[in-house]
Chain A
Amino acid sequence: MSGPDAALLDLFREETAERLDRIVEGLLAAEAGGAHAEQVDALFRDVHSIKGNAGMVGFDEARAIAHAMEDLLDRSRERGELVLSLVEPLLQASDAIRRAVEGEHGVAAPAIARLSMHDEGRQTPREASVAGGAPVAGGASPTAGASANGDAPATGPAPAAAGGSLRVAAEKVDTLLDAVGEASLHHRRIEHLVGDDSRGAGNEALEEELDRGQRLLGDLQDAVLQMRTLPLASIAGRFPRAVRDLAVREGKEVELVLEGTETQLDRTILDGISETISHLLSNAVVHGLEPAAEREQAGKPARGRVELRAEQRGGMVAIEVSDDGRGVRDEVLREASRRGSLVDVLAEAGFSTAERVTEAAGRGVGLDAVKTSVEALGGSLEVVSRPGSGTRATLLLPLTLALLRVLLVERDGYPFGIPLGSVIEALPVERSTALGGRTVLELRGRSVALTDLAESLGASGAPLGPRAPAIVVAAGGERAAVLVDGVLGEQEVVVKSLGLLAWVPGYLGAAVLGDGRVALVLDPAHVIRRAALGRSAPPTARNAPALDAGTQNAAVPKGSGGVDGSAGANGRPSANGSAAANEASRRSRVLVVDDQITVRELQRSILETAGYEVGTARDGREALDALTGDAVVDLVVTDLQMPNLDGIGLLEAIRADPERAELPVVVLTSMGDEADRRKGAQAGADAYLVKRDFDQRALLDTVARLIGE
């Protein structure tokens, strides 16, 4: 067979797979509750279309099988019902078509033979079965020629275009997404040019147009991302069949309930979790559910219930697989509560304590693999279980892999993105101790493994600064802190595959930043695993016993300057000095205003460490509330872009108040735009710092200068 090009074949395979899913679904529904005439009609139409299309593209075996199925269904149609005993052979024939379409040969004859055996049963429909009544295994293609041999395939429903939808190759959508990304970068470059240009800056019409452009690009990006999503139903088609087969094999009665299969997920994620869900379903059937007798003894219905449920939760999608089986044993739960994670105990059981625990747990087989694959997608796995009444595994997955909010950090001059969903906080490292060779960070009474970002990736970077920020990340219930040179801020990025380098561990992908640089997007789970290994202390880790833990609000600033005697390199003592000087009377209070928690907390720790008292607010409105509150505020550090009341609005409100007209205000923003700077200055900012080259020393110096005088 020569002729059909690759694209056409792909289209054919895709469409056939969809029809087969529908056929299997219809057959299982028929098995469960009997099929009405219209359902038989629907089955017939799908089979008929497969036959026609297969004939056109030259898949003769698939065509022959479909033809035999069609004959069988045709007679069921005449009878107005589908005989139960036909379900099994029809399912097998559907599988055979699937294999034939995938290129396997020699699948037609056996499938057709089985169908023809059952076709004989039409005289005694209710009893038809393989075992009963030796069938006449006539010709290889027994019923062919009976009716439809030469039908035009067009009598089925028109392929594709049904419902006004359009089939588009996935790569084309990705190309479109790339183009949108490019356009966004282009837009940002124009904004910078306009901001730098004296004629452009302050031109309101121009700025309005730029804003409009940005919004349009945002809409466009959303629309393209929408195109990349598919409902869970697109992969759920095979689950009922798989569960049914498994239940038959295990001699159990199982009812599978699907809910929320219309929930939309990124195509890439769907591809990645299909196996995982099968795995969880199979665990539920094989290990979770008890045999019927045991269930009845326990007062449960003989038929076990397995549920697959999906729903959107905020920016994530939760997929739950639950059963009403035996649950895990008490001793496993006790071990889990001791270790803090049932998933970990069960995942490990698959490895080490082997059969006994696995069987007793009713779970655990390959759960480590499930956990790994979910984490690789930026998601997490959680398992809860009640002895005697069942187990529920929940996969929490990002809505999309393509678009991700990340905290951009810098190490050794290169940008890295950390998925914001995994970032707990950012803080400068003051206290770290060595525990049995591992460097740990004391964090509100908990110790968290601490590692240099470069080291966690197996590289060596330039030595870290004296009070390098540590980013605390969490994944799969574990935490670790990574040391970086600086924090650049939050950004939404389009995550791209590393292509040939996708196998290199540690990364979810890479993102192109506004300035054209490429940032590697870190896989938090990998970083945490490496940190837990704790191979050695990072160069700046200070195992200083002098830093007594738990004294976060110590009166005397604990800048590293004085301790190791290299003040010159670490920072000017002035910052510490002025804060300390104020200590005599009252410690100076700084109000930090930023809508990003990481930035807020980072500044809070830097300022608190330098001896200031710090209050925080999430936007201008909260800041104004805080200013009119009891505590006297000596200085405000504010972001520009915030909801409700932005930084400029806050500045104007402060300056308009005669009592606060002299209050020092430092503007800190992610934009380095000249236009922004001018707006800030016009509104009365005393200093302006850019997050991109955010440097804690600059912040401390500025704060000290403005408060000190």
Chain B
Amino acid sequence: MSATHVRVRVGEEHYALPIEEVTEVSELPVRTPVPGAPSTVLGVASLRGQVIPVADLSAILGLGRSERPARMVVAQVGGQRAGLAVDAVTDVGFLPVASEPAGGRHLTGAALVEGDLVGLLAVGSVLDAIGGGRG
């Protein structure tokens, strides 16, 4: 199955989100930190009057905190929504079948794109991590 994905870069690594689960891509907005939230959460931000949690994708994937995230991918699965801070959004396009096995609990697989290994994100699982595993 190949489908349109939004590809992002986090540090040296590449990941992709199914486009159906991305509502928009924007500059990383100003955040208000939320004491008590998981350390992966950068805070909450206003997105056209709505309040959304913003989390560090790098930290969620266990790659350590992102140094200078610049962009935000707003992901939504069901009624759950959050902004994911990434270093860059590299491409929007078709991704070949996930041919490679993938490690990590937030991945459904991986695909080779122009020599880069791109991890396919299980967006629902990423959002669950922000929700403290409480759905």
Interface hit among A12-20, A141-149, A516-524, A644-652: A516-524
Is A498 touching B51 in the complex (CB atoms < 8 A)? Answer: yes
Give the residue among A506, A511, A517, A518 with the most B Cβ atoms within 10 A: A518
Is A457 touching B35 in the complex (CB atoms < 8 A)? Answer: yes
Kindly supply a per-residue 1/0 record for chain A positions 165-181, scoring 1 wherever the CB is within 8 Å of any chain B CB and 0 otherwise: 00000000000001101
Residue A504 at the chain B interface, CB threshold 8 Å: yes
Partner of A518, one of B32, B36, B41, B48: B32
Is A496 touching B50 in the complex (CB atoms < 8 A)? Answer: yes
**Interfacial residues of chain B within 27-78, with CB under 8 A of chain A in the complex:** 30-37, 41, 43-46, 48-53
Question: What's the least CB distance linking A434 to chain B, in Å?
Answer: 24
Is B46 touching A503 in the complex (CB atoms < 8 A)? Answer: no
- Chain B contacts for A503, CB-based, 8 A: 131-132, 134
Is A458 touching B49 in the complex (CB atoms < 8 A)? Answer: no
Is B131 touching A507 in the complex (CB atoms < 8 A)? Answer: no
- Chain A contacts for B49, CB-based, 8 A: 178-179, 181-182, 185, 512
Question: What's the least CB distance linking B110 to chain A, in Å?
Answer: 26
Give the residue among B31, B49, B52, B82 with the most A Cβ atoms within 10 A: B49
- Chain B contacts for A179, CB-based, 8 A: 49
Docked Cα-Cα span, A435 to B86, in Å, equals: 48
Kindly supply a per-residue 1/0 record for chain B positions 93-135, scoring 1 wherever the CB is within 8 Å of any chain A CB and 0 otherwise: 0000000000000000000000000000000000100111010
- Chain A contacts for B9, CB-based, 8 A: none
Q: Decide yes or no: A510 and B32 within 8 Å by CB, A500-B80, A500-B131 being known contacts.
A: yes
Docked Cα-Cα span, A457 to B32, in Å, equals: 14
Docked Cα-Cα span, A414 to B45, in Å, equals: 12
**Interfacial residues of chain A within 491-512, with CB under 8 A of chain B in the complex:** 496-501, 503-507, 509-512
Is A501 touching B37 in the complex (CB atoms < 8 A)? Answer: yes
Partner of A415, one of B32, B46, B82, B132: B32
Docked Cα-Cα span, A182 to B49, in Å, equals: 6
Partner of B44, one of A459, A501, A516: A501
Is B35 touching A518 in the complex (CB atoms < 8 A)? Answer: no
**Interfacial residues of chain A within 423-470, with CB under 8 A of chain B in the complex:** 454, 457-459
Question: Which secondary structure dominates where chain A touches chain B?
Answer: mixed
- Chain B contacts for A517, CB-based, 8 A: 30, 32, 46
Is A498 touching B32 in the complex (CB atoms < 8 A)? Answer: no
Docked Cα-Cα span, A454 to B33, in Å, equals: 11
Is B48 touching A182 in the complex (CB atoms < 8 A)? Answer: yes
- Chain B contacts for A509, CB-based, 8 A: 51
Is B131 touching A501 in the complex (CB atoms < 8 A)? Answer: yes
**Interfacial residues of chain A within 119-156, with CB under 8 A of chain B in the complex:** none
- Chain A contacts for B50, CB-based, 8 A: 178, 496
Docked Cα-Cα span, A517 to B46, in Å, equals: 7
Is B35 touching A499 in the complex (CB atoms < 8 A)? Answer: no
- Chain A contacts for B31, CB-based, 8 A: 518
Partner of A504, one of B34, B51, B52: B34
Whose C-beta in chain A lies nearest to the C-beta of B36? A504
Residue B81 at the chain A interface, CB threshold 8 Å: yes
Q: Decide yes or no: A518 and B80 within 8 Å by CB, A454-B35, A500-B131, A501-B41 being known contacts.
A: no
Docked Cα-Cα span, A517 to B44, in Å, equals: 10
Docked Cα-Cα span, A221 to B82, in Å, equals: 27
Question: What's the least CB distance linking B131 to chain A, in Å?
Answer: 4
- Chain B contacts for A496, CB-based, 8 A: 50-51
- Chain B contacts for A510, CB-based, 8 A: 32, 44, 51
Docked Cα-Cα span, A458 to B34, in Å, equals: 10
Is B34 touching A516 in the complex (CB atoms < 8 A)? Answer: no
Give the residue among B33, B46, B51, B127 with the most A Cβ atoms within 10 A: B51
Question: What's the least CB distance linking A258 to chain B, in Å?
Answer: 34
Q: Decide yes or no: A516 and B81 within 8 Å by CB, A178-B49, A504-B36, A510-B44 being known contacts.
A: no
Question: What's the least CB distance linking A411 to chain B, in Å?
Answer: 10
- Chain B contacts for A178, CB-based, 8 A: 49-50
- Chain A contacts for B82, CB-based, 8 A: 499-500
* 14 additional contacts (CB under 8 A) given A499-B81, A518-B51: A178-B50, A181-B49, A185-B49, A454-B35, A457-B36, A459-B33, A498-B44, A500-B127, A511-B51, A512-B49, A512-B51, A516-B30, A516-B46, A519-B32
Binding site for A on B (CB under 8 A): 30-37, 41, 43-46, 48-53, 80-82, 127, 130-132, 134
Question: What are the 5 A-B residue pairs with the smallest beta carbon separation, nearest first?
Answer: A459-B35, A457-B35, A182-B49, A500-B131, A496-B51
17 A-B contacts (beta carbon < 8 Å)? A178-B50, A179-B49, A182-B49, A457-B36, A497-B51, A500-B80, A501-B34, A501-B53, A504-B34, A504-B37, A505-B36, A507-B34, A510-B32, A510-B51, A516-B46, A517-B30, A518-B51
